[in-house]
Amino acid sequence: MPRYALKIEYHGKPFVGWQRQTDLTSVQGCIESALRVLEKDHQGIQGAGRTDAGVHATGQVAHLDMATDWDPFRLSEALNFHLKPNPIAITNCARVEDDFHARFTALERTYHFRLIARRAPVTHDEGLVWQVRKPLDLAAMQTGANHLLGRHDFTTFRSTICQADSPVRTLDELSITEHAYEGGTEYHFKIRARSFLHNQVRSFVGTLEHVGSGSWHPGRVRDALDAKDRSHCGTVCPPHGLYLAHVKYPTDPFA
């Protein structure tokens, strides 16, 4: 059976998350329903990451096997047709080797988070950013973020319902940039690692917002990390500013 990789974009608001759930609308479930229009006995797809309810993606990757040999472009076009009106798009499709696995072959995942500081309500970006009212201290947030880089026990920054066997992860990048525009300032967080714990990224961003607002000294981030205690985490920020942006593989399946 030929294997394909899909690059997927979606708006997370209508979904309970990526993972299929009985009687609830998920991104995976919608794509699998579209696939079963093409092949009624299709066995489903495997994604690179399980995004939570309300989280978006611009670069999710999934793999699937088809009973017949499809031209990748025609497969993506057929899926996009049958995915309407769901806010999901297959932006690329490629034939891959049989041993390609969207989750287990991945070397690294990159998340982006958008945070806007402005007093007026957001209009065009509603549901796509986290809004706070006052500007943040970029330098202080980056100083706090630097304490999180490297290999650590991230118990403080993972959900109490996280099912990962170990809280130890290696964080390769947590960089923040500032972009001024008329009426406000947007902060872009780029978070890169091989894998993440449940709610880890949102815990990072919510904690660093405390630093940027002056509620926390940057060194308190290190203290929270060292505590290895969930109660020392700052606020877990809302999901709607978070995007799964890129998944890296030994060889880019879409090159």
Q: DSSP label at 11?
A: -
Which secondary-structure segment (H or E) carries 180?
strand 168-181
Instruction: Identify the active-site residue in 23, 41, 52, 98.
Output: 52
C-alpha atoms less than 13 angstroms from C-alpha of 221 in its C-beta half-sphere = 24
Give the burial class of 110: count Cβ atoms within 10 A of its Cβ; 0-12 exposed, 13-18 middle, 19 or more buried: middle
Distance CA 27, CA 52 (A): 10
Distance CA 63, CA 44 (A): 9
Burial 44-62 (b: 16+ CB within 10 A, else e): ebebbbbbbebbbbebbbb
Active site residue 23: no
Whether 94 and 42 have beta carbons less than 8 Å apart is answered as: no
3-state secondary structure (DSSP) of residue 195: coil
Q: Which residues are catalytic?
A: 52
